Amino acid sequence: MRLYRTTLGPCVEQDGRVHRVTGYSWDQLVTSEDLHGLLASVVELGEPWTDFESAGILAPVESQDVWAAGVTYYRSRSARMEESKDAGGGSFYDRVYAAERPELFFKSPARDVVGHQGAVRIRRDAHWSVPEPELTLLINDRGQIIGYTAGNDMSSRDIEGENPLYLPQAKVYEGSCALGPCVLVSSAQLPTTAGIQIEIHRDGQMEFSGTTTLAELKREPAVLAGYLFRENKFPAGCFLMTGTGIVPPDSFTLRLGDEVHISIDGIGTLVNRVA
């Protein structure tokens, strides 16, 4: 079951049929005792919503802030060690990749999250910018993973590579976080065969594409969520991006007008243009 947030309220899609979910705000759905059961009854009893296409899709967020995990794939570890070698990155990315405690950082307040078909941004003071396609967990107020969406952790590699203390500036700025198009509602773990794919289109041509699978993700999603909830409370739930396993070659940087397509099996494709 996939849950969308639209201009006309939440709706659920299953097997191509869409139903409106009335009487609940997005936050109430995220914190409900049994989201899956609630949506199953809407699918069973509700009238199909044939007008879905006319409603705009919004970011699947109301009050949920977004956090992110880093260096959870070998590819991210290697790329970051290389970009930060002049700042001593040879050891700190390697160490966090191997450590028991994951790297977790604040990524975006709820109000700044960009949805499907919205515009993500590159920093104007950066000259090396990349998208990071990441499986993103939706976690309820009790710390339980209740769904999954596709995320883009836009990053300025020159800024984070210059000094690790610049990471918040490289990661947290207006238009740096996109989520969507929907939430795959499931508390079950996704199969390790689930694929993550990115395509970057420039002037109608494919400029870069890459793939990975969840088999490459070094840490269990539930363990990442457990660390985040150790000493934090999220009364409306939150999102947690699980890190990137795809990094374009060092010669690549995003340009204004590029279009980023991030697909995750079972979820769909998040499309954003770069502004």
Interface residue list for Mg ion (CB under 5 A): 132, 153, 244
Residue span 68-107 as binding mask against ligand DO4, x where in contact by CB under 6 A, dash where not? x-xxx---x---x----------------------x----
Residue 117, sorted as left (phi over 0), alpha (psi -120 to 50) or beta, turns out to be: left
Residue 153 near ligand DO4 by CB under 6 A: yes
Compare residues 10 and 248 and give the one whose CB is closer to ligand DO4: 248
Buried b (16+ CB within 10 A) or exposed e, 34-52: ebeebbeebbeebeebeeb
Angle at 175 between CA 235 and CA 149, to 5 degrees: 55
Instruction: Pick the closer one to ligand DO4 by CB: 8 or 167.
Output: 167
Q: 122: closest CA among 258, 246, 262?
A: 258
User: How many residues line the site for ligand DO4 (CB under 6 A)?
Assistant: 12
CB of 132 to ligand DO4, least distance (A): 5
Give bridge partners of residue 99 from the DSSP assignment.
Answer: none
Question: Which lies closer to ligand DO4 via its Cβ, residue 29 or residue 159?
Answer: 159
Beta bridge partners of 212: 196
Which of Mg ion, ligand DO4, none binds 40 (CB below 5-8 Å, type-dependent)? none
The site partner of 13 among ligand DO4, Mg ion, none (C-beta below 5 to 8 Å per kind) is none
**What residues contact residue 180 under an 8 Å CB cut-off, 6+ apart?**
57, 59, 60, 115, 116, 149, 150, 270
Q: Determine if 60 is a binding residue for ligand DO4 (CB under 6 A).
A: no
Q: What is the dihedral of CA 135, 137, 138, 140, to 10 degrees?
A: 180
* Residue choice 244, 246, 262, 271 for contact with ligand DO4 (CB under 6 A): 244
Please select the residue that binds ligand DO4; options are 13, 62, 83, 132, rule is CB under 6 A.
132
Alpha carbons within 13 angstroms on the beta-carbon side of residue 132 total 29
Q: Which of 243, 246, 248, 272 touches ligand DO4 (CB under 6 A)?
A: 243
151 near ligand DO4, judged by CB under 6 A: no
Please, what is the minimum distance in Å from the beta carbon of residue 87 to ligand DO4? 12
CB contact at 8 A, 156 and 198? no
Of 30, 65, 264, 62, residue with least CA distance to 177: 65
CB of 72 to ligand DO4, least distance (A): 6
Strand 268-274 and strand 119-120: pairing? parallel
Length of the chain measured in residues: 275
Q: Looking at 31-39, 56-64, 67-75, 111-119, which segment touches ligand DO4 (CB under 6 A)? A: 67-75
Nearer to ligand DO4, 46 or 164 (CB): 164
C-beta of 181 vs 245, nearer to Mg ion: 245
Residues that bind ligand DO4 (CB under 6 A): 68, 70-72, 76, 80, 103, 132, 153, 167, 243-244
